[in-house]
């Protein structure tokens, strides 16, 4: 299982490598929704959670409280840098592939508000858990049942012969993915 901050840092670093003309940046709200979809995708693809930090049902959708607090100072602005240094080579290639699939599916085509609307649809784990002003934990079992009923539109299983692209580190230790990775 990964540390939730490593997953958050993957999404931040990947967004910061992109073209600012094509992306609205990685805000705290967007990041927390991507964490929800990454957790759901892991449950769908591997049958187990990606990280053990709880997701809570807040007013604007699923939130990992520790991630929210780490980037709270950014408010609605894009998060400029990762929270902590980490080694991408410690992440299994199939997990990195899953994170890339989630990023391709949700981060590029949806704004933070668009992702919030997706989590607020009827019969989602958030909609079944949310109680105003309570920030209740969304049970992992609820997310598991949801993806079994309504699979996410990402690859169900990676192709066995698919070349998995592994992030490299630049001279300052920040992860980056090679040119064209999003075209897979």
Average pLDDT over the chain reads: 85
pLDDT exceeding 70 applies to what percent of the chain? 79
Residue pair 168/181 in contact (Cβ under 8 Å)? The answer is no
Q: What is the pTM of this model?
A: 0.83
What are phi and psi for residue 101, nearest 5 degrees?
Answer: -60, -45
Report the distance separating Cα 175 and Cα 179, nearest Å: 13
- Which region among 27-41, 146-160, 170-184 has the lowest average model confidence (pLDDT)? 170-184
Residue where the block lists tokens 């990454």: 38
Instruction: Examine the pLDDT at 20 and tell me if it is beyond 70.
Output: no
Report H helices in 103-181.
112-119, 125-129, 140-149
3-state secondary structure of 29: helix
Instruction: Examine the pLDDT at 169 and tell me if it is beyond 60.
Output: no
Query: Quick one: DSSP state of residue 57?
Result: E
pLDDT attached to residue 156 = 44
Give the pair of three-digit tokens for residue 129.
Answer: 């858990």
Instruction: Examine the pLDDT at 158 and tell me if it is beyond 90.
Output: no
- Which region among 127-131, 161-165, 176-180 has the lowest average model confidence (pLDDT)? 161-165
Give the pair of three-digit tokens for residue 42.
Answer: 């892991």
Report the distance separating Cα 121 and Cα 182, nearest Å: 27
* Residue pLDDT, tens place only, 32-42: 999 999 999 99
């Amino acid at each position: 299982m990964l540390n939730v901050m490593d997953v958050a840092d993957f999404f931040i670093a990947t967004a910061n490598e992109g073209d600012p003309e094509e992306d609205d940046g990685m805000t705290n709200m967007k990041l927390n929704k991507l964490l929800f979809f990454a957790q759901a995708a892991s449950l769908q693809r591997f049958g187990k959670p990606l990280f053990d930090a709880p997701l809570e049902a807040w007013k604007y959708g699923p939130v990992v409280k520790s991630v929210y607090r780490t980037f709270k100072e950014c408010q609605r602005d894009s998060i400029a840098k990762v929270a902590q240094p980490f080694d991408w080579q410690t992440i299994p290639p199939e997990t990195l592939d899953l994170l890339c699939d989630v990023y391709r599916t949700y981060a590029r085509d949806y704004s933070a508000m668009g992702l919030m609307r997706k989590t607020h649809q009827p019969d989602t784990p958030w909609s079944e858990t949310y109680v105003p002003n309570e920030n209740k934990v969304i049970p992992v079992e609820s997310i598991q049942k949801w993806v079994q009923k309504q699979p996410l539109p990402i690859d169900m299983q990676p192709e066995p012969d698919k070349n998995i692209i592994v992030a490299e580190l630049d001279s300052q230790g920040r992860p980056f993915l090679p040119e064209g990775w999003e075209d897979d």
